[in-house]
Amino acid sequence: MFRNFNQFANRICVIDPQGRHFSYTEIMASGRAALADLAPAKQLLFIEGRNTPGFVSAYCAALDAGHLVHVFDPDRAQSIQPLIESYSPDALVLTDGEVARLAPVPRNPEPLLIEDDLALLLATSGTTGSRKLVKITEGNIAANTAAIISYLGMTGEDRGITTLKPYYSYGLTVINTHLTAGASLVLSNASVQDSIFWAQATQHGITNFAGVPHSYELLKRMDSRLAALDRLRFATQAGGRLAPDLVRHFARLARQGGWRFFVMYGQTEASPRISYLPPEQAEQFPDAIGLPIPGGRMWLTDDMGHVITDDGVEGELNYAGPNVMAGYCQSAIDLGSGDRPASLRTGDMARRLPNGLYVLAGRKSRFVKPFGRRLNLDDIEAMLASEGIEAAAMASGETLMLFVAGDGATEIALAERLAQHTRLPASVFDVRPIERIPRLGNDKIDRMALQRAIEAVHGTPPAAAQSPSAVLRAVWREFSAIMMGHSGMATSVADIFRATFRHAEVNKTQSFVSLGGDSMSAVTVHLQLEDLIGTLPPDWHERSIAELELMKGSALG
């Protein structure tokens, strides 16, 4: 990785916020010097993710030397403790300045066993501090980077600007693509709302811009800023779904301005890019995620795992390509080996248009089925957003919890309006006012924080109310779910196993067999899992709860 730095030698690599230029040679030399005290064997390094020359140098030198790198959010250092305990990294790398430096970290003296080709450990979206990380190989990064450079038409003459933190996979791809192409990068910590950001962008003549949906929502009010970037060649959007009207807006703006607008889709597990929407089709198909990246392949499967060949039929989106991860890890033990998936079940529902473009329908896990009717939680949020109501929709058993920010409609009125819209009882909707919808650093809704709020209200797991009539209603709902063949109140594999085996706490490493499952309970558990996950593998009864949960789908990168 980054072994082509020599050929770029004295070309500008990065420009810091003070306007100082650093060449490729300087960046690599600085990084190597910072890591000089490391043992030559493959090391696990936790690097602070900052938009500084120190970070870029340490990151490039570490990957060039073949080390395994995890980039973390330095502003949430306390949340990194569980990771340090689980993975026992060889060193921390501090990057708050021009030059990176090593920091000691208490660790297990036993040497780590790490697979040779592992290069990155990435956190899935919104899970900083979670022990579960995605293993990415050097080959994954190289393939994905080459594909992105190819369809963007990036060259060594390009110059980007960091709008994203490098501890997000999208932010890292901006660095990877620019430095692999021999292009240059302006390191900025300013927001698109800050005039200093635009001053930097204009001064240094950036040729491309990368943004998440929130960035473009802000940019819509600042079209003149984009128009002032006379060297702009392309802009990219990823990190979530951009509303179709905004896609149309920026696609039109790009056409008029002579630059190109790329909508992109991906998951951390795909290193992360999976597809892109050809700019010339963005105005006509603003809700599409486009075509697979060069070298990749996408297809749809139904609930039983059969490939869907017809256009317009909704199914789960699958992806295969050289950028598919090397699996997940939960601790240092998992770094030495593990199953490598050949393909990725994205957990997103999609359909294919006759022209080959794919359109997303929503997260599989973002569907709930109260009274057997399928509801897309994202659609509920979008519907309310279009009415000016900022809300976050979460499933809580058979109830749909709506956290509404600010001065939204009164709770009862909103519940009744949703009931009318969905033709479900108003009691299905539990509307809760909230001061502010919690968001992550990439502006996505912090659903884990909301889930904790739900559990604080309902207890863990979310439970039926205490009164006999409420219990009877809950039993009736569950009875109806059973008769209709739905998974009912179980929203996770662990729920199903907990209800079957009566354990207060079910260990996620256990399987149906290890928990004492037998043929008498197998049919019911099998059917519940099928309703939740889709097609089960023949050895489902031996797969751990964690493995079965993974089949249910994972978060967006």
Contacts to other proteins by CB under 8 A: 303-304, 314, 372, 374, 397, 459, 461-464, 466, 468, 471-472, 474-476, 478-479, 481-485, 488-490, 495, 498-502, 512-513, 516-527, 538, 541-542
Task: Specify the length of the chain in residues.
Answer: 557
Query: Residue 43 and residue 463: Cα distance in Å, rounded?
Result: 46
Q: How far is the CB of 500 from other proteins (least distance, A)?
A: 6
| 3-state DSSP assignment of residue 88 | coil
CB of 461 to other proteins, least distance (A): 6
- Nearest distance from residue 115's CB to other proteins, in Å? 27
Task: Compare residues 82 and 537 and give the one whose CB is closer to other proteins.
Answer: 537
Q: How far is the CB of 368 from other proteins (least distance, A)?
A: 12
CB of 525 to other proteins, least distance (A): 8
Burial of 41 (0-12, 13-18, 19+ CB in 10 A): exposed
Q: Which of 438, 382, 429 is nearest to 410 (CA)?
A: 429
Which CB sits closer to other proteins, 420 or 524? 524
Asked, as a colleague might, if the bond just before 292 is cis with ω within 30 of 0, I would say: no
Signed CA dihedral, 176, 177, 180, 186: sign only: negative
**Cβ pair 202, 228 in contact under 8 A:** yes
Angle, vertex CA 84, rays to CA 78 and CA 87, nearest 5: 150
User: Min. distance of Cβ 283 from other proteins in angstroms?
Assistant: 28
Instruction: Say if CB 332 and CB 121 are below 8 A apart.
Output: no
Cβ distance to other proteins smaller for residue 24 or 540? 540
3-state class (DSSP) for residue 556: coil
CA dist 484 → 44, 364, 396, 400, 454 (Å):
50, 19, 20, 19, 27
CB 176 to other proteins: min, Å: 38
Which residue shows structure tokens 């059969």?
306
Residues contacting 337, CB < 8 A, separation 6+: 115
- Least separation in angstroms between CB 462 and other proteins: 8
Shortest Cβ 379–other proteins spacing (Å): 11
Q: Kindly state the tokens that stand for 182.
A: 């021999």
Based on CB atoms, which residue is closest to other proteins, 210 or 464? 464
CB of 413 or CB of 472, closer to other proteins? 472
Q: Which is nearer to other proteins, 268 or 318 (CB)?
A: 318
Per DSSP, what are the bridge partners of residue 235? 209, 261
Q: What type of residue is 71? A: V
Rounded Cα distance between 117 and 6, Å, is 22
Place of tokens 């749909």: 400
Given the complex with other proteins, which of 292 and 553 has the nearer CB atom? 553
Choice between 249 and 351, CB closer to other proteins: 351
For other proteins, the closer CB: 385 or 479: 479
What region does 448 belong to: left with phi over 0, alpha with psi -120 to 50, or beta?
A: alpha
